[in-house]
């Protein structure tokens, strides 16, 4: 069956009683209009999305958390060279404690990131062992606060030569060559009965690797305003090329990491430290 062809109607002749024929209305043909088409994504939406991401990232870095990398071994075994940290910056605010983040109050035993008092452009990470009002001293490398010895399971003491200034702090008989001269003069005024008195809004910090750490013993207190935040976790960790992984003495019964496996192609990272909570 073929489709019937449409032919134009013959015009009416005068007197035949017929009225002129009108063409039958045809169904309108629906063609998409160029003005109604959805424009493809352009440059403006992409810029808006990028700006939103930047604003969120700046807010997070400025007010909440910030990444840092550990460059030295002064905090071993708690923190290793090559660890990448997320640092909670809420510790520097005076706001009420968060339900999701640690307390903003600085406690004895907290690990903190701060601006180096001698050179504020440098960030350091150490552990708080003395808070304002404490009377502090070290005897044979162990910390005593207000007459009581601190329980410090995180501290290690690698074998080194004797150092009376380091191990029996504060000591006025002789100064260590590495001590800051300004701190040496200030420290002499704050010693009472062999104990160092920590002033208001200042903190005394030490590295967990006690015999291999330049800390408050050598350059003084950390002012409250210098503290950036408290490390939350290790979000990534890189092994150091050509170096052996640090392992705690067997007497302690704890192994920090496994030695790298030469057959592994993924040995560049310490995978077991990812998302490690810092305490």
Has residue 249 got a pLDDT over 50? no
Q: Is the pLDDT reported for residue 155 higher than 70?
A: yes
Check whether 204 has a pLDDT greater than 50.
yes
On whether the CB atoms of residues 88 and 232 are closer than 8 A, the answer is: yes
Q: Where are the domains of the chain?
A: 65-97+104-257+269-277
Distance CA 131, CA 108 (A): 6
- Whether the upstream peptide bond of residue 77 has omega within 30° of 0, thus cis, is yes
Residue 12: per-residue pLDDT: 40
Asked if 125 and 278 count as a contact pair (C-beta separation under 8 A), the reply is: no
Cβ(66)–Cβ(84) below 8 Å: no
Mean pLDDT, rounded, for 64-69: 76
pLDDT at 22 over 70: no
Kindly report the pTM of this predicted structure.
0.70
- Strand (E) or helix (H) holding 135: strand 135-139
Give the pLDDT confidence score for residue 44 in this predicted structure: 76
Q: Which residue has the higher pLDDT, 144 or 65?
A: 144
For the chain, what percent of residues have pLDDT higher than 90? Answer: 54
Sign of dihedral through CA atoms 222, 111, 81, 139?
Answer: positive
Run of H or E residues at 203: strand 202-206
pLDDT > 60? residue 134:
yes
pLDDT (tens digit, 9 = 90+) per residue, 79-93?
Answer: 999 999 999 887 654
Residue 192 has pLDDT above 90, yes or no: yes
As a whole number, mean pLDDT of residues 43-67 equals 65
What is the secondary structure of 40-98 as a DSSP string?
PP-HHHHHHHHHHHHHHHHHIIIIIEEEEE--SSTTTTTS-TTEEEEEEGGGGS-SPPP
Positions annotated as catalytic residues are 74, 126
Please give the share of the chain, as a percent, with pLDDT higher than 70.
Answer: 66
Distance, C-alpha 173 to centroid of its chain: 41
Q: Which fold has domain 65-97+104-257+269-277?
A: Umud Fragment, subunit A (2.10.109)
d(CA 89, CA 95): 12
Give tens-digit pLDDT for 219-234: 999 999 999 999 999 9
Q: What pLDDT was estimated at residue 51?
A: 76
> How would residue 243 be classed by pLDDT, with cut points 50, 70 and 90?
low
Check whether 108 has a pLDDT greater than 90: yes
CA distance 155 to 207: 8
Q: Which two tokens stand for residue 192?
A: 């009472």
Q: Residue holding tokens 């134009």?
A: 8
């Amino acid at each position: 069956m073929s489709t019937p062809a449409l032919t134009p109607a013959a015009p009416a002749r005068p007197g035949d009683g017929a009225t002129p024929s009108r063409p039958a209305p045809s169904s309108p043909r629906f063609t998409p209009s160029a003005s109604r088409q959805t424009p493809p994504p352009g440059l403006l939406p992409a810029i808006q999305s990028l700006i939103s991401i930047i604003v969120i990232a700046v807010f997070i870095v400025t007010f909440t958390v910030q990444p840092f990398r550990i460059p030295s071994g002064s905090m071993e075994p708690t923190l290793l060279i090559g660890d990448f940290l997320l640092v909670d910056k809420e510790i520097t605010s005076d706001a009420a404690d968060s339900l999701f983040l640690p307390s903003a109050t600085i406690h004895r035993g907290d690990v903190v990131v701060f601006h180096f008092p001698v050179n504020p452009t440098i960030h350091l990470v150490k552990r708080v062992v003395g808070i304002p009002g404490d009377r502090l001293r070290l005897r044979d490398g162990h910390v005593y606060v207000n007459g009581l010895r601190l329980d410090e399971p995180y501290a290690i003491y690698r074998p080194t030569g004797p150092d009376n200034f380091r191990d029996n702090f504060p000591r006025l008989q002789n100064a260590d060559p590495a001590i800051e001269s300004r701190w040496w003069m200030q420290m002499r005024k704050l010693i009472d009965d062999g104990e160092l008195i920590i002033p208001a809004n200042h903190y005394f910090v030490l590295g967990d690797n006690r015999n291999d750490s330049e800390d408050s013993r050598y350059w003084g207190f950390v002012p409250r305003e210098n503290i950036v935040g408290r490390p939350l976790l290790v979000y990534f960790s890189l092994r150091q090329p050509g170096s052996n992984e640090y392992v705690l003495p067997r007497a302690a019964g704890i192994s920090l990491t496994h030695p790298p496996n030469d057959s592994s192609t993924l040995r560049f990272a310490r995978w077991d430290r990812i998302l490690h909570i810092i305490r």
